[in-house]
Amino acid sequence: MRKSSSGQNGARGGRSGARQGFRSREDKPARKGPPKGPSTKQRSAKPAAKSRSDEPHRERPATMTPAARAPARPTAEAPRKPTRAQAKAAAQEVLATGVQTLVVEPDEADMRVDRFLVARFPQLAFTHIQRIVRKGELRVDGKRAQPNDRLTAGQKVRIPPLKLDQPRPVSRSAAKDQSDREFLKSITLYEDKDVLIINKPMGLAVQGGSGTTRHVDGLLECMRDAEGQKPRLVHRLDKDTAGCLVIAKTRFAASTMAKSFRSRTTRKIYWALVAGVPRVRQGRVSTYLAKEGEEGDARMKVARHGDEGASHALTYYAVIDTAAQKLSWLSLKPVTGRTHQLRAHTAHIGHPIVGDPKYFDIENWELPGGIQNKLHLLARRIVIANPRTGKPIDVTAPLPPHMQQSFNLLGFDTSQYDPIVEAPEE
């Protein structure tokens, strides 16, 4: 495995500066007032207010200046901007009570509409968020929005009254947080102050849904910071796909790495065990894909350009090794990132991935002995620029247990040269 590897002071300074401003105005004599520098007798002659200078010196902190002791004028100091945690708490109070309008902040620019809602309302089920967007109940600058529309800083997002699909736990136990932290640490492939890359196990969902209670997004709750912010997902893997999953620990990293994925500068390599042997040992699959079926049972079908919901998908592939013309070990490089893209594309060329319950459609095909009927797809390697330095973070994930067992049975050597490395990036 290879790895490559602040604002509060300013706010305090602003308030201190404001107080210094009060001092200069208070020290300046009024136009019709007494002359500058009144005597102690004159000051003590005012019965209405007791001067702090009359207090014993021992009762005043040595470091406190007269300006710091003077009360700030409430009309002169600008109101403090609420913290993210306070803003989020206020948003929760109106979840189910009425319409609210949110303004997209600069560090939320370029976020998808649905991901924006996930970040602002983490307790809402993702399926519920997609539903309100799809129904047109959410508006951006007065217009209907699609789930994958990108936001820009300053836009106003109108949110309809929201209702929780399920009660949010009042609190998380320290034992639960500790357990989740230990689990995440055990599957961590790379981590720095901005980025976390984990080896997602097969069977662990990335996000919650109907009937899904344990998922990566939920595990990340244990990593919330003092302001209530938790790490963010910047891409997804199917529940049964194992391997490299990139997570942003900061808003800055999330925005930067999301752009990297969209601009296709992130290199992704997958390994798969498929049925049969492709006639063309190295090639490309270019189709349009569209979703069919209901949520939960939906699958991607090959569509034509212009069909409703159809998006272009491009994949490069290469055969690394074969087993008696029965099975092939493929290396895959998806240029685009469509749902189920690799699974749909391998099935489209007649070589579906072994153990795929949605796309494996070869009749009378028997699973070779000793090979488990589980999805044999691994997000093997990812190379992404470090959001702060720009240097590449290059991470490789090991084979999951069921794929390792299959490779051992078939005699595949994982140290073999992977020709997909030379495949184009676009």
Active site residues: 238
Q: Indicate the SS3 state at residue 287.
A: strand
- Give which of 303, 330, 306, 333 is closest to 318, Cα–Cα: 330
Tokens describing residue 282: 């190295």
Question: What is d(CA 400, CA 273) in angstroms, rounded to the nearest whole number?
Answer: 12
- Give which of 343, 328, 330 is closest to 275, Cα–Cα: 328
CB-based contact 180:172 (threshold 8 Å): no
Question: What is d(CA 370, CA 314) in angstroms, rounded to the nearest whole number?
Answer: 33
Place of tokens 């500066």: 17
Strand ranges for 276-399 from DSSP E: 282-292, 299-303, 311-323, 327-334, 377-385, 392-396
CB-based contact 317:284 (threshold 8 Å): yes
Cβ-proximal residues to 185 (8 Å cutoff; 6+ apart), any chain: none
CB-based contact 147:134 (threshold 8 Å): yes
**What b-and-e string marks burial along 74-99, b requiring 16 or more CB atoms within 10 Å of the CB?**
eeeeeeeeeeeeebbeeeeeebeeee
Listed in sequence order, the DSSP H helices in 57-209 are 66-69, 84-93, 113-120, 126-134, 174-186
- Give which of 113, 111, 177 is closest to 145, Cα–Cα: 113
Question: What is d(CA 333, CA 316) in angstroms, rounded to the nearest whole number?
Answer: 5
